[in-house]
A and B are shown apart, each in its own frame.
Chain A
Amino acid sequence: MENRFARFHPLVSFFFYAGSVSLLILMLHPIFLGLALVIILLLNFFHDRLSGLWRWKFFLITTFILMIILNPLFNERGRHLLFEVGTHRVTLEAVVFGGMNALSIIGVIALFVSYNVIMTPNKLLFLFAKILPQFAVLLMLTLRFIPLMRRRLEEISVVQRSKGISVSHGKWKRRVRTGMLYVQTLLTYSLEEAIQTADSMKARGYGMSTRSSYEYFKFRRADVLAIIYLVILLSLIIYCRAFGYGFLTVYPVMEAWQLTHLDIGALTSYLMFLSFPLFVEAGGLFRWRLSN
């Protein structure tokens, strides 16, 4: 399914993800993090009905549990005692702190799942090509070579198998040795081929003038508006955060969870920033309904 958010200029999407990751790391407050996680889940639902996130379920759940347990295990600071195990104090502060960090990290990983759907390699390359043209070519060549190398490895292993040599059974010492011999064959084979590729590139005029690109992203009016929207919200939030709003101080004394006026202001901007892709999708759906 094509997402409306994916149609924005790569710069917009990149800025959204970079900003969101920063916010998740900066705004450590249970209410902020909880709501952010809900939004990110919704985001993933809109992208691929959570199928991407589902593949990460094991990693996500273990990280979450580990982080919640780890902090109280090593950290006895805090005034509100929940219970004692032997002589070990488990405090409310430690649990809250561990929980907040766990939510933040899970949020970041879930956000990256959505990032991988939206920011396809060609978009990232497009961004790179603007500021780091040589590096972008290198990366593109590498990306193109990876499937090629895979095929060549397959070829090599077919030839070797006909000689009765294989990596999949036998003693492990033997297997490591054959595996590495495959890679070595691949190396000599590919190095020679590489020279031909390079000469073809040169013959086609690589480096003579500016490069043309296969896919060109235009910066439209909607992109300008989106960037302005995101920049304003992000600077508002960072401004609030710099004065200590939108952040739960746990040590030395835990604050109340209650939100002040400015906290609520920061929270609103925070939610509006994170749910930008949702607004885009919702707006698109709404227009679709109207036009029918």
Chain B
Amino acid sequence: MRFNKTVKTVLLLLLASIFLVLNFWFENAYLWLSFGFVLLSILLFLVRFESRKVEPRELVLLAVLASIAAVGRIPFASIPSVQPTTFVIMMSGYVFGAESGFVIGAVAALASNMIMGQGPWTPWQMTAWGLVGLTAGLLRGTWVMNKKWGRILFGAVWGFLFGWIMNIWGFLAVVQSGSGVGFKAFLLYFASSAVFDTFHSVSNVILLLVFGDVWLKILTRFKRKYGLLE
């Protein structure tokens, strides 16, 4: 069952306006508001993904990359804070474009949580990993990303950004509405996660440094060979 385009647009606009009205009503419910924002933006992306008929080959390719991103954590289980998920999503986004990057990141997060157990963090993880793929795809033409050090910088920055996005929901959950918890607590909360973020960032850098070029080559070769997602 495929909805036609106008129905979809109207529905999305309706959702967005309901969301705005609710915001106006409950002006202090930040956690609630951010949940709405995140869910709505994921939905927008998915609807966009639906609007184009994706070939089976492309669909399976996206699924393979998403599942590798999710499964890639297993061999590293014995090494704390090192996981190639971000790296895989970044490489896929870089080679196959922004939209595919977002979809791969979001699906990898959703699918791995379906196995490990869903929680309120699922939409945030989907967005964070989705954005990794999206930005990698968007920046792929720029001269910064064409250089190796540019990609490494990108990975280092995302190591922290990913942690911060996940922190935001945690912080909003702690604070919720109207309390006077201020900037000091905010900084402390973010500082407490800095160790993990640094690990994440460093592991991204190492993976990009050692494996970045090989992976780009493999994925690009595959893309050219079968003419996928050009």
Q: Is B141 an interface position by the 8 A CB rule?
A: no
Q: Say yes or no: A134-B59 contact (C-beta < 8 A), given A176-B76, A194-B64.
A: yes
Q: Which B-chain residue is minimally distant from A200 (CB atoms)?
A: B56
Known contacts A26-B29, A210-B1; A139/B173 CB under 8 A: no
Known contacts A70-B185, A145-B67, A188-B218; is-contact A101 B173 (Cβ 8 Å):
yes
B6 within 8 A of A: no
- Indicate which residue in B74, B119, B182 contacts A150 across the interface (CB closer than 8 Å): B74
Min CB–CB distance B149 → chain A (angstroms): 20
Contact B114 A184 (CB under 8 A): no
Name A100's closest neighbour in chain B (CB-CB).
B176
Given contacts A74-B184, A251-B179, contact A172 B79 (CB under 8 A): yes
Does B16 count as interface, using CB distance less than 8 angstroms? no
Q: What 0/1 readout, one digit per residue, does chain A (160-187) give for beta carbons within 8 Å of chain B? A: 0000000110001001111110111011
Distance in angstroms between the alpha carbons of A150 and B24 in the assembled complex: 47
A182, B73: Cα distance in complex, Å? 11
Q: Mark B1-21, 1 if CB is under 8 A from A, else 0.
A: 111000000000000000000
Whether A206 touches B56, Cβ cut-off 8 Å, given contacts A138-B103, A142-B108, A149-B67, is: yes
User: A28 with B177: in contact, given A145-B64, A149-B67, A180-B84 (CB under 8 Å)?
Assistant: yes
Q: Cβ of A275 < 8 Å from any Cβ of B?
A: no
Contact B59 A77 (CB under 8 A): no
Do residues A179 and B64 form an inter-chain contact, with CB atoms below 8 A? no
Count, chain B residues at interface, CB 8 A: 73
A145-B210 in contact given A138-B107, A167-B75, A198-B56 (Cβ < 8 Å)? no
Q: Is the Cβ of A250 less than 8 Å from the Cβ of B207?
A: no
Contact in complex: B32, A22 (CB < 8 Å): yes
Q: Given A139-B110, A145-B63, A150-B71 in contact, is the A25-B31 Cβ separation under 8 Å? A: yes
Pairwise interchain contact B61-A108, C-beta atoms closer than 8 A: no
Residue numbers in A under 8 Å from B89 (CB-CB): none
Q: Is the CB of A143 within 8 A of B111?
A: yes
> Contact between B75 and A251 (Cβ–Cβ < 8 Å)?
no
How far, in Å, is B11 (CB) from chain A's closest CB? 9
A183 to B72, Cβ gap below 8 A?
Answer: yes
Q: Which of A177-223 contact B (CB under 8 A)?
A: 177-180, 182-184, 186-188, 190-191, 194-195, 197-199, 201-202, 206-207, 210
Tell whether A67 pairs with B174 under 8 Å between CB atoms, given A74-B185, A143-B114: yes
Smallest Cβ-Cβ distance to A141: which chain B residue: B63
Q: For chain A residues 64-107, which have a beta carbon within 8 Å of chain B?
A: 66-67, 70-71, 73-77, 94, 97, 101, 104-105
Contact status B56-A207, CB under 8 Å: yes
Report the stretch among B45-53, B132-140, B154-162 that lies at the interface: B45-53
Tell me if B62 counts as interface (CB < 8 A to partner A): yes
* Contact indicator A184/B218 (Cβ below 8 Å): yes
When distances are taken between beta carbons in the complex, the residues of chain A under 8 Å from B72 are: 183, 186
B184 touches A135 (CB 8 A): no
Interface members, chain B 195-230 (any A CB < 8 Å) = 203, 206-207, 210-211, 214-215, 218, 222, 226
User: Is A287 interfacial (CB-CB < 8 Å)?
Assistant: no
Chain B residues with CB under 8 Å of A265's CB are none
**Contacting chain B: which of A4-12, A124-132, A224-232, A255-263?**
A124-132
Contact with A along B79-114 (1 / 0, CB 8 A): 100101000100000000000000100011011101
**CB-defined contacts of A101 to chain B, threshold 8 Å:** 173-176, 179
List, in ascending order, chain A residues with CB within 8 A of B206's CB: 176
The docked-state distance in angstroms from the alpha carbon of A152 to that of B40 is 36
**Shortest Cβ distance from residue A21 to the other chain B in the assembled complex, whole angstroms:** 7
A146: nearest residue on chain B (CB-CB)?
B67
Q: A75-B180, A206-B56 given. 19 additional CB < 8 A pairs?
A: A73-B185, A74-B185, A94-B179, A101-B179, A104-B176, A133-B50, A142-B66, A142-B107, A143-B111, A143-B114, A148-B67, A149-B67, A149-B71, A150-B74, A167-B78, A179-B79, A202-B57, A242-B25, A242-B26
Q: Can you report 25 A-B residue pairs in the complex whose CB atoms are below 8 A from each other?
A: A25-B176, A28-B177, A77-B180, A104-B176, A108-B120, A131-B3, A134-B50, A135-B46, A135-B49, A135-B103, A142-B70, A153-B75, A157-B75, A175-B78, A176-B206, A176-B207, A180-B84, A191-B61, A191-B222, A194-B63, A195-B57, A195-B60, A195-B226, A198-B56, A199-B56
Nearest 7 CB-CB pairs, A to B? A141-B63, A145-B67, A179-B75, A198-B57, A198-B60, A74-B185, A149-B71
Interface residues of A (CB under 8 A from B): 21-22, 25-26, 28, 66-67, 70-71, 73-77, 94, 97, 101, 104-105, 108-109, 112-113, 115-116, 119, 121, 124, 130-135, 137-139, 141-143, 145-146, 148-150, 153, 157, 167-168, 172, 175-180, 182-184, 186-188, 190-191, 194-195, 197-199, 201-202, 206-207, 210, 241-242, 250-251
